[in-house]
Copies of this chain bind each other. A is one copy, B any other.
Amino acid sequence: MTRIDVGILGATGMVGQQFIALLAHHPWFRVSWLGASERSAGRKYRDAAAWRLPAPLPEAVANLDVQAAIPSAAAPRLVFSSLDSSVAGEIESAFAQGGHTIVSNSKNHRMEPDVPLLVTEVNGDHLALLNRQAARGWTGRIVTNPNCSTVVLSMALAPLRQFGLTKVMITTLQAISGAGYPGVASWDILGNVIPFIDGEEHKIETETKKILGCVTRDEVDPHPMVISAQTTRVAVQNGHTESISVGFEQPPSEEDMIHAWTAFKPLDGLPSAPASPIVYLQERNRPQPALDVDRGQGMTVTVGRLRRCPILDYKFFALGHNTIRGAAGVAILNAELMHREGLL
């Protein structure tokens, strides 16, 4: 089988590197084009980017010349984007205008009514929104995935929608890799907790409602639950831990909740889809980033410590790999779904 050429916009950043690492041995996609800022354009990738992942930089990608982030015939039809939000909006629109399919991790287009905000297993049917993008005059299209902490929350909540979610309280303990590179200064986080991540709480409170919402006539009706988020940064390399309480219209039993999570396997046969998208751990001190973040190649969300909440109905913890399940990995899975649906 011939692999499909793909490009990466924002290829030198933390998520851009994660895209490259995850696509190194991908059965369907092959990285053939890299776009980045003016500063990097024109140099070989190995010279333009300081590679910061333990996984090796593939030789073939290392030798690619980095291109300017402008649409061109040389760029493949399918382009992943992890551009900085200061430039992502315009550049991604230009690529969509120019006929490219942009699968983006950037925040700029997420909340636009005709742009799918996709967590593959959760709301693949939101791809129906793409029907509306032609009205923009685009020959290409844009699909986005949410903020990393929102991906983890959405995965944990999706199987619980059947019980009538009404309220969600969440406090996050987020890894430093979520801030990109150089991101958080070591002086600020070593032995410390920072109880603030700019814009994060708003994203959790709004993006989650769009993702869990229903699509009718190519329009998303946001989920009516109320969400309240507090976010913190902790000295963890990878993995967002989330302390969550939920209220329901018809509170299920604990067994029902655990069954809902473990039975949640809506996808089948996509290369990046983990065998178990959600794993519930019985041990009383789990999930933990150091032990659980890489489950399912970083694509599995782990949940644990489910018990009654005296204020809402239940409380529990969830954990997911923020740059894989929460960023590059979910974007690739989104593209895989689009490929299977004939949307590439």
Contacts and interface: CB of A to CB of B under 8 A. Distances in A.
B228 A245 contact: yes
Contact of A183 (B181, B187, B196, B309): B187
A188 interface: yes
B171 A54 contact: no
A40 interface: no
A305 B195 contact: yes
B226 A310 contact: yes
A290 interface: yes
A193 B241 contact: yes
A304 B310 CA distance: 25
Given A169-B169, A184-B186, A186-B235, A195 B285 contact: yes
A243 B190 contact: no
A288 interface: yes
A314 to B, nearest CB: 10
Contacts of A191: 190-191, 235-237, 289-290
Nearest to A170: B171
Contacts of A230: 171, 243, 245, 305, 315, 317
B187 A185 contact: no
A52 interface: yes
B190 A181 contact: no
Contacts of A143: none
Contacts of A192: 236, 288-291
Interface string A175-215: 01100011111111111111110000000010000000000
A173 interface: yes
The 5 closest A-B pairs by CB, nearest first: A182-B185, A192-B290, A196-B285, A171-B171, A171-B243
12 contacts: A52-B291, A53-B291, A54-B291, A182-B187, A182-B188, A185-B186, A186-B235, A187-B237, A190-B190, A191-B235, A196-B305, A230-B243
